[in-house]
Amino acid sequence: MTGRYSSDSNINVGGLNFSWDIEKGQFLFEQQDAVLFWITSAMKTFFDTIEEISGEDAASLVLEATGFRQGLLVGDYFRELKSVSIPEAAELVPNTYASAGWGRAVVSELDLDKRTLKIRLQNSWEYKINKEQGKKHAGTYLPAHYAGIFSGLFGENLWFKVLESQLEGNDYDLIEYFPSNITVTKNIHELTRNKESEEIRRLENMVEKQTSELKGLVKELSSPIIPVLEGIVVVPLVGRYDSSRGDDMIEKTLYSLPKNQARYLVVDLTGLHLEVDNYTAHMIERLGAAASLIGTEMILVGVSAELGLIMTNSGFNFTKYQCFQTLQHGIYYALAQDGRQIL
C-alpha cells in the first residue's frame, strides 16, 4: 500500500467525536453508527433512481416525509433533555449537522410564544445534489427535516415555506416555519388522491376514446344501405335505436335514395330488437314519411307475428305500408310494381 494515513482512529472536531474501526468497517459519529457517501456522485445516483422509479412528485414527497419524521426523532430527543432549552437546541443542532457535512444552518427570529422561526441554509448536501440534478427549486428533505425537529421541540406540528432558494440564484435557502395543520400524512393522502384522480381521468379518457371509436364503427356497420336492384334499396335495421342512432340512419338513408334513384325502400326489420319502444316505431314512421316526400315508397319486411303485435301495441300504423314476412317477398313486390320479375 502506498500513501500516508493517520493511525489515529478517534478525532474530536468542534466538541464532536468521530471514530473508526477499520477492521469492523465501522464509522461512528458521536458514538453512533454512521455512513459516508460522496454527495454529487453516489447520493445523486440514489436520488435519481428514486425519481426514476416513483416519479418526481412522489420522490419529493418521500424525501419530505422522511426528512420530517427523522427530524421529529431529533426534536423529541432534545425535548426530553430537560437540561437543554429550545434556544440552546436551536444552536446545538445546526452546529452538529454542520460538522457532519449537512451545510451551514442559522436559526433566526425564534419566537417561543408564537412557535415561529426562520432558518437560513447554505451549501447543504441537498442543494449540492439538486444542483447536480439540474433542479430549479429547493428540495424538500431538509426544510421538512427542520420542521420535524422544531415540531418535536415545541410539541406542536410546524410546517414550512421556502422564501428564497439557493438554486434560484440566492446566497442561501431561507425557510419560514410556523404552526400548521399540514402534515406529511395529509400530503401523502393528497398525492394518493391526485394519483387516483389522474388514473381515473386517464381511464375515463381511454373509455371515452374507445366509446367514440366504437360508436363510429357501429355507425358505419349498422343500417347499411344496399342497392340490390335498379330502383330498389334495402336497409336492414339491427338492434336498438336511440335518437342519435335513429337520426343518423334516417339522414344517411334519405341522402342515398336519390343517389340510387330508388323508387322503393325495403326496410328489413328481421334484426330489430324485439323490445320495440315508441321511439323506434315513430322513427320508422318518420323514415317512411320522409321517403315518400322524395318519391320513394317504403316497404316493410321481416315482420314476424310477434314483432307485428309489439309494434301494433306501440301505436304503429301498418296500414300505410306494404308488409311482408321475408325480404325476398318484398323485393318481388317492388319488381312487380314496375312490371319486372326475377327469371
Q: Which residue has the cell 309489439?
A: 310
Q: What angle do CA 168, 174, 177 make, to 5 degrees?
A: 135
Q: C-alpha grid cell for residue 64?
A: 419530505
pLDDT for the residue 223: 67
Q: What letter does residue 304 receive in the DSSP assignment? A: -
pLDDT for the residue 189: 75
pLDDT for the residue 185: 82
pLDDT for the residue 242: 83
SS3 category, 228 = strand
pLDDT for the residue 1: 42
pLDDT for the residue 205: 77
Question: Could you state, in chain order, the average pLDDT of each consecutive group of 10 residues for the chain (343 residues)?
Answer: 59 82 85 86 89 87 91 91 91 89 94 96 95 92 95 94 95 95 81 67 75 67 80 89 85 91 93 78 89 93 83 78 90 89 68
Q: What angle do CA 200, 137, 155 make, to 5 degrees?
A: 85
Report yes or no: 107 and 119 within 8 Å, Cβ to Cβ: yes
pLDDT for the residue 6: 54
Distance CA(326)–CA(210), nearest Å, equals 36
